[in-house]
Amino acid sequence: MNIHPYLTGDLLRHLDAMGHGDTVVLADAHFPAARTAAAHGRILDFPGVTTPGLLAAIRTVIPLDEHETALYLMSSPDGRLPVQDELIGAAGAQAKDVRELQRGDFYTAAEAGFLVIRTGETRTYGNAILRKGVVS
C-alpha cells in the first residue's frame, strides 16, 4: 500500500479515532483554527500544504459519508471560487454531497469538528469540512 506523504502518523491517528459522521476541518491560513479547536485541543499544522492537496490525501483513506452532507464549504459573496472547485474535485464529491454555509454557520459547524487542520493555503475561502463515512 502506498501512503500519501502528507499523511503523517499524527494525522492518521486522529483520522482513525474519528467515527462515522465525525468531521474534520481543513482550514486555510486565515482561518481562526486555534480558537476553533480550543474546546477539544485537536489541531494539526500543515504550513507547506494547500487545502485541496491535503483534502485529496485524506480522501485516500477516508470515504465520504453517504447519509448526510459530506463536504461543507464557506460561501463566498463572489460565487464559487477556483479554490472551492479544487476542494470539491479533491474530495471526489458530487453536487449532492456539497453544501455551502454562510460564514457564521461555517464557523459554528467547524467548532463541532473532531479535528482541525490548519494548512498553508493562502487563497481566501480555502476551507472545507469533511464528514467521514464508513470505512470498509
**Residues 3, 46 contacting (CB under 8 angstroms):** no
Q: Is 4 a catalytic residue?
A: no
**Residues 126, 28 contacting (CB under 8 angstroms):** yes
Whose cell is 498553508? That residue is: 120
Residue partners of 120: CB distance under 8 A and separation at least 6 = 29, 46, 47, 48, 49, 50
Q: Which of 4, 20, 30, 67 is catalytic?
A: 20
Q: What is the DSSP letter of 67?
A: S
Catalytic residues: 20
